[in-house]
Each structure stands twice: as C-alpha cells, then as structure tokens.
Structure 1
C-alpha cells in the first residue's frame, strides 16, 4: 500500500548534489513548459485582439501545452523523473517514488521556474499581460474543482502507467513523455473553456504572481492535488501492490 512506502527522507538531502541537480532540472523544464504554454496564449491573444477564448485559441493552447510538456518531460526524465508539476510530484510521493524532502525541493523549483518564465515572457513581450487562470462565466468553484480533479487524475494515472510503474520499461517507458503531453493537450480541449484546465499548480502560480490576481486560485491547488492523490492510490493499490500475475513475454503472443 502506498501509505506504507511513503518516505520522509534525510534533511541532508536538501544539500545533496544529486537532489539539487534534479531540482535544477525541474526548474528548467518547468520554465520551458510555462514559457511556451503561457506564451502561446499571449501570442494568440495579441494576434486576434484578445480572442484567445475562441475554438481556435483553445486548439492552439492544447497543441502548445501538449508539445511543450512532451519536450519538458523528456529532457528531465533521466535527471529528475520529469515531473514538471507539483501535483505529479505529490502523486509520486504518495506512492513512495520520491521522498518528502526531495518533493519540497521539486515544488520550490517548479514554482520558481513558472514565475521566472512569466517574468521573462512579460519582459520579452514588452509588458503584455500574462493572464492568470480564471473560471468562465457560469462555472462555479466546485465545478472547477471537479474538473481539475478528473483531469489531473487522468494525467497522474498516465504518469504512473507509463513512467513510474517499474513494468513500464522498454517501449512503454519510451513513449511516456508523448503520452503525458497528449493527455494534457486532450484535457485542455475538454476543460479549457471552463476553468483554463490547469492540472498543474505551478502553471497557475506563475501567472497569478506576475498579474497579482488570486481570485479562486485555491481551486488550482486543491483540485490537482486531490486528483493526483486519487490516481496514485488507485494505481498503486490496484495495479502495483497485489502483483497478481507476471506479464507474459512478448514471444508468447507475438
């Protein structure tokens, strides 16, 4: 069970070269991801006179975030695991895949990466507003929380199935960044018109800091963390812990 495998870690890990290197990888990957994702929204808004909420704008955002996350996960996978998301890190922690100490380092790095990305984007665009995540008209806060829970569940479940599950070696592990990018892009198409489809507290945090807009910001923390927790517990309890059978070698059914 996940709860029994949770590890706090050693405080000395805060100064470990390996842990700091991994945190730096998370910082860089999150910066790249947020710069591309938020930048695509700002660019589309500028090109269409603030019509970024049109269907074309939603598709553009989905593609930009999907492609950028694929790259961000791939370039950090061998160093930090390529979480690029505090909710993913939380899910990995609940499954015993990362210590609490290293999780804190990752969270700090991810949030800083997002803030720096938004500051760079604001400077590079000559002061263009980097809009914070917000709820669409008619969408209540609890509607948005449910959206974030379900979307983040899909994301973290995908991370477990393709990257964290030790049986995902080989071809499945190789496609993990693609699968993770695809599920985020698809979720943006599903929920982007309702609450922005964050699934990632860091992605919401950077724009909120730069624009200093905190309306309903808690939604983008509570929803993703709950979704990540449910995905981690479900996958670990049902598909990892029992180990009820040994997968057949591919030669058995090729």
Structure 2
C-alpha cells in the first residue's frame, strides 16, 4: 500500500551532488514553464483589452501551458523526473517514489523557479502585473474541490505514464500526455479559478504581486488531489514489483 512505501531519507541527501543537480533541474524546468505560461497571458492581455477573460484568452492559456509543460517535463525527466510541480512531488512521496528530504529540495527549487520567472517577467514587460489566481463566480469550497479533481487527473497521468514501472514504451509520451491533461484542465477550470493544479504556479505570482487571496486553495487542493491519485494508482495498479527507492549512493 502507498503509505507503507513512504521514506524519510536522510540529511545527507540535501548536500549530495546528485540531489542538488536534480533540484537545479527542477528549478530550471519550473522557471521555463512559469515564464512561458505566465508570459503568454501577460502578452495576450497587452494585445487585447480584457483579453484573458475571453474564450480566445482561455484557449491561448491552455495551449501555452500545455506546450510549455511538455518541454519543461521533457528537459527535466532524465535528471529529476521532471516534476515541475509540488503536488506531483508530494504524490511521488506518498507513493514511495521520492524521499521526504529530496522532496523538500524539489519544493524549494520549484518555488524559487516560479518566483524568478515572475520577477523577470515583470521587469522585461516594463512593470506589467503578473496574473494572480482568483475565483470567479464560485466559492472557495467549490474551487477547492475543482483543484482536487483537476490535480488528481494530472498526478494520475504522471503515475500512469512516468512512474509506473510497467509503463514500458508508454514513458516516451509521458511529457506530452502530462502537457495535454494540464491544457485540457485549464479549459475546464480556467474560467472559474484559473486552474492552477500547481502550488508553485500560484505562489510565484502571488509573491511578486503580494496578493494572497484564497492562496490556500491552490495549495490544499492540489496536494490533496495529488495524494489521492498516488494512493489510488499505487493500491490498485502498481504490482508488488514496484520499483524501490534508489540507494543513497545513486543520488
């Protein structure tokens, strides 16, 4: 069962060159993803008055995020696993596929990558505000459930295409499958709560703009959704031949 696979690891991982390289890869991948995703929204808003609130703006956001995540996952996959998302990292931890200490390194790197992307976007665009996440026509409870469901779909896709040891050749399409589910979910939830599915994606803009309204929704929802997906997939679909955590020497 998933919970029994959880591993804490040890403090040596924090300083091991392999773990630090993986964290750097997460930082760069998250930076690439947020810079492209946020930047496309800012550019669309500049080119069209109130453009981000239109159907065309929603489609543009979905396509940009799908493409950017495909690339971000691809470039980090062979180094860190290409999580690019604290909820994915948390789901991997719940399933016993990453230790707590390595996961914390990933979280720090992901949050820093998102923040730097937003800072540079603000500078490069002459001070344009980054797009913070907010609720439109729904309550915080409804947004919480929406984030749980969307992130469940995302992390379930990650498990099926990237983590499952039986994935075989399916692993080659993991980045595009992950990008596609995020793009599709943006089309579902973008008009209601921005469709974050990723605490790092909502954290960077919130920090740079210092706007924290309903920020907890974009943490609690994705983490719960990621954990549920990990438990469901691990319990029902991963066999006893589940891959073990790498030893300290392999980091």
TM range (shorter): over 0.9
Which one of 233, 236, 240 corresponds to residue 235 of structure 1?
Answer: 233
1:241 CA drift (Å): 3.9
User: Counterparts of 1:207 and 1:28 in 2: how far apart (Å)?
Assistant: 17
Report the Cα offset of residue 178 of structure 1.
Answer: 0.4
SS in 1 for 2:53: coil
CA deviations on 1:3-60 (whole Å, 9 max, x unpaired) are 1111100101000000000000000000000000000110000000232110000000
Alpha-carbon deviation of 1:231? Answer: 0.2
> Offset of 1:227 from its aligned partner?
0.3
Aligned to 2:2: 2
Whole-Å Cα distance in 1 between the matches of residues 110 and 76 of structure 2? Answer: 12
| Whole-angstrom distance in 1 between the partners of 2:56 and 2:23 | 35
Deviation, structure 1 residue 242: 6.0
- Corresponding residue for 1:83? 83
Q: What whole-Å deviation, never above 9, does each CA across 1:41-93 have from its counterpart, x for those lacking one?
A: 10000000232110000000000000000000000000000000000000000
Write out per-residue CA displacement over residues 126-157 of structure 1, whole angstroms, 9 at most, x where no aligned residue: 10011210001x21001000110000000000
Look up the match of 2:212: 214
Q: CA RMSD in A?
A: 0.8
Partner of 2:130: 130
Please point out which of 186, 190, 202 is paired with 1:204.
202
Residues in 1 aligned to 2:239 and 2:218: alpha-carbon distance in whole angstroms: 30
Cα distance in 1 for partners of 2:34, 2:131 equals 12
Query: What TM-score does the superposition give when structure 1 sets the normalisation length?
Result: 0.94
- Aligned pairs (5 A) from 1:84-99: 84-99=84-99
TM-score (norm 2): 0.95
Question: Are 2:61 and 1:61 aligned?
Answer: yes
How many residue pairs were aligned? 241
Q: Which ranges of 4 or more aligned residues in structure 1 deviate by more than 3 Å?
A: none
Contiguous gaps of at least 5 residues in structure 1 = 244-254
Asked which structure has the greater CA Rg, the reply is 1
- Which sections of structure 2, spanning at least 5 residues, go unmatched? 242-251
The 5 A counterparts of 1:151-162 are: 151-162=150-161
In the TM superposition, what whole-angstrom CA distance separates every residue of 1:220-246 from its partner, at most 9, and x where no partner exists?
000000000100000000011467xxx
